[in-house]
Amino acid sequence: MGILDDLRQSVIEGDRDRTQEFMKNAIAANVPAEEILKEGLISAMAEVGRMFECGESFVPEMLIAARAMKSGLTLLRPHLIAAHVQAVGKVVIGTVQGDVHDIGKNLVGMMLEGAGFEVIDLGADVSAEMYIRAVIEHHPDLVACSALLTTTMLRMKDVILALDEAGLRGRVKVMIGGAPITEDYAREIGADLYAPDAASAASRVKELILGIDRP
Amino acid sequence: MTKREVIYAVLEGKKPPYVPWSCGFTKEAREKLQARYGVTDLEDALQNHLLKLGSDIGFFTELGEDRVRDVFGVVWDRSIDKDIGNVEGCVLSEPTLHSYSFPDPLDPRIFADIPGRIAGFWDRFRVFQIGFSLYERAWTLRGMQNLMMDFYDHPAFVHELLNTIADYNIAQVNEALKYDIDAVYFGDDWGQQRGLQMGPKLWYEFIYPVLKRMYAAVHAGDKYVFAHSCGDVDELFDDLIGIGLNCFNPFQPEVMDVAALAQQYCGRLAFHGGLSTQRTLPYGTVENVRAETLRLLETGQEGGYIFAPAHDVEGDVQLENMLAFIDLIQAQPGYRTS
């Protein structure tokens, strides 16, 4: 196997130590930073997402894979900057106001990072005003809203209305997700995208923002 | 038949005179019912068949600013979720129990009101409740993401943590068995909207053997085992039955086919729950609630089913929707004549 295959496999297996070792080897071997990113990290996380979507892996496996990916990305980042490699897009993500459940949101953020996006995580209990401020400051391609409760999912509509009122709705796409959310609800409140889980969130965002078909 | 006898019939797979029920409500929903019925104690108005005993999720010390500390030392922020709250901080910041002491499982407060409650509601089926009974207790102490990664990083620690939690629970069970109870209920959440949070491989490796031990302690006292897990967990039912589960809650219709499962498991596993709290109750009309309630009552008429909303009813449910199912369950012909 080549060095990038080793790197990719170590991320899939969530083996942080080996990921760092292979990343250092790839950098030392002068493999272009963008190639390491795409073939070693993004490709690995796409496979992790595929395995999650088809029930071959679950949240713990996704978490350790994302941790390995991040540890490799930290080593790679200076080389990406030096090579002027940009993120494929930018996402502002948060759990909506009144809701402090954040593991689903965190998983979506990790999978989007793993797909090459820059992710600005606003945390939990995020008001519509906070989303607006973040959109103005960061100019994201997508705003992602999470909610676990039927009592808080209604706040997603407030975010979309606030984007409308601020004249920002045309600039960003909106994705929503969380246990009680459905495709119908997303359509009803005017969201652009719904995803039932973290893995499909990443693939659907790629499809929407980058026009890349899901595997 | 008393309510207790009706539940016994349901658990034994016999046809009950009507479908019994036991419905829970969050603080905000309860307040609407209290105003409607003009009482603070809803037991008489609701006529639930299960009498909840024990401490469920334990005792709390007020810390001010909507924060409480449970007996395990976990701080809960109740500024948003006013019933349970959300964990703040991390009690087990490292994967070790070396500097941590479990609370007293025989805390007299847990058992203090059992005789009085049984005397006051003698006709109901008595269920000793242990909330956050395993996986949830573990992650409230360790943090959910930490625990998920500990399955791989520190498996010996996870086994030790789960077994120590089980020892704590079993000590409570053994004490509870000294009272005239009928069942022990273990609350926990393993599921998500699709499948298990930790997946079957880790569930069978870490959770299953500990459940087996806890359920065996209940059956050693010749009592029934009730268990709760939110989410899509029906893949586990056969193995849970194999280790002694008698009744499963909450039976969420958004993640499982309640009618098909009730039929498939009738006589082997009873179900408690079933009414949609993610869709019908908050967003449906009174007619939607009535229709779903009637379908569930029909599903349960041969036995094996205890009606309830699939979660404590949340504050976003209109009073009319709550009254719609309460009126229907209490209007069952067999209930009035039983």
Split at pLDDT 50, 70, 90, the class of B337 is low
Q: What is the pLDDT of residues A149-198, one digit of tens each?
A: 888 899 999 999 999 999 999 999 999 999 889 999 999 999 999 998 88
Percentage with pLDDT > 70 across chain B = 99
Short-list A80, A70, A76, A83, CA closest to A24: A76
- Taking 50 as the threshold, does the pLDDT of residue A214 lie above it? no
Short-list B67, B83, B79, CA closest to B31: B83
Residue partners of A173: CB distance under 8 A and separation at least 6:
A141, A142, A143, A192, A193, A208, A209
**Which residues of chain A are within 8 Å of residue B81 when distances are taken between CB atoms?**
100
Q: What is the pLDDT of residues A48-98, one digit of tens each?
A: 999 998 999 999 999 999 999 999 999 999 999 999 998 999 999 999 998
Q: What is the pLDDT of residues B126-172, one digit of tens each?
A: 999 999 999 999 999 999 999 999 999 999 999 999 999 999 999 99
Sign of CA dihedral B34, B39, B40, B43: negative
Inter-chain touch B278–A180, beta carbons under 8 Å: yes
Q: Parallel, antiparallel, or unpaired: how do β-strands B67-70 and B75-77 relate?
A: antiparallel
Q: Please indicate whether residue A102 or residue A8 has the higher confidence score (pLDDT).
A: A8
- Taking 60 as the threshold, does the pLDDT of residue A215 lie above it? no
Q: Tell me what pLDDT residue B9 has.
A: 96
Inter-chain touch B282–A64, beta carbons under 8 Å: no
The residues in B 13-72 lying below 8 A from A, measured between CB atoms, are none
Q: What is the ipTM of this complex?
A: 0.90
Split at pLDDT 50, 70, 90, the class of A213 is low
Tokens of A204: 């659907």
Inter-chain touch B80–A103, beta carbons under 8 Å: no
The pairs formed by B173-178 with CB atoms below 8 angstroms and a separation of 24 or more are B173/B128, B173/B130, B173/B214, B173/B217, B173/B218, B173/B221, B174/B217, B174/B221, B175/B105, B175/B106, B175/B110, B175/B111, B176/B53, B176/B54, B176/B111, B176/B114, B176/B128, B177/B218, B177/B221, B177/B223
Which SS3 state, helix, strand or coil, does residue B246 take?
Answer: coil
Q: Tell me what pLDDT residue A180 has.
A: 87
| B77 contacts chain A (CB < 8 A) | yes
Distance CA A72, CA A74 (A): 5
Q: What is the pLDDT of residues B28-53, one digit of tens each?
A: 999 999 999 999 999 899 999 999 99
User: In the predicted model, what is the mean pLDDT of residues B269-297?
Assistant: 96
For A156-206, give the DSSP string: HHHHHHHHHHTT-TTT-EEEEESTT--HHHHHHHT-SEE-SSHHHHHHHHI
Measured at the CA of A46, the angle between CA A40 and CA A51, to 5 degrees, comes to 120
In B179-328, DSSP assigns E strands to: 183-187, 224-228, 247-249, 270-275, 305-309
Inter-chain touch B283–A61, beta carbons under 8 Å: no
> Is the CB of residue A60 less than 8 Å from the CB of residue B149?
yes
> Which of B192, B205, B235, B276 is the best residue to mutate to test the A interface, defined by the most A CB atoms within 10 Å of its own CB?
B192
Split at pLDDT 50, 70, 90, the class of B57 is confident
Q: Tell me what pLDDT residue A212 has.
A: 62
Average pLDDT, chain A: 93
Nearest to A58 among B193, B197, B279 (CB): B197
User: In the predicted model, what is the mean pLDDT of residues B259-280?
Assistant: 94
Q: Tell me what pLDDT residue A98 has.
A: 87
What is the H or E stretch that residue A62 is in? helix A59-82
Give this prediction's pTM: 0.90
